[in-house]
Amino acid sequence: MEVNPVDERDVTIEDDHPVFRVYMWSQPFPNVHVPPERVGWWNYAYELKECDVHQAIAWAQDNLAEGGRYTLYVCYRREDGRLTAVRIAGTEPTRIDRSR
């Protein structure tokens, strides 16, 4: 973790109504003939509104399949119309580089 002081006046826009996106990851039932690291993952995506980050995390944890994982993003629409998702919690099991 890197910590640096900042000037809070550099924020030009605040949004009090965040939109979260949750990816709920799970694997099929284990197969004795396939090593666990070779079993694929699938996900279901959900949009959460009218909640804060703590409520979004609680929802993800409460709705997680047994042995599953979740990835939580906060989303915003850029001026050019593209949607940006910033990961704020959880892990994505399909990522090769899990250190980030």
Task: Give the pLDDT confidence of 15-70 residue by residue, as tens digits.
Answer: 899 999 999 998 877 667 777 677 788 899 999 999 999 999 999 999 998 889 99
Is residue 2's pLDDT more than 80?
yes
Domain-located, residue 64: yes
Domain-located, residue 23: yes
Burial track 44-74 (b if 16+ CB lie within 10 A, e otherwise)? eeeebeeeeeeebbebbeeebeeebbbbbbb
Give the structural domain span for 76: 19-90
Report the number of distinct structural domains present in the chain: 1
pTM of the model: 0.81
What's the DSSP call for residue 36? G
Domain-located, residue 3: no
Domain-located, residue 14: no
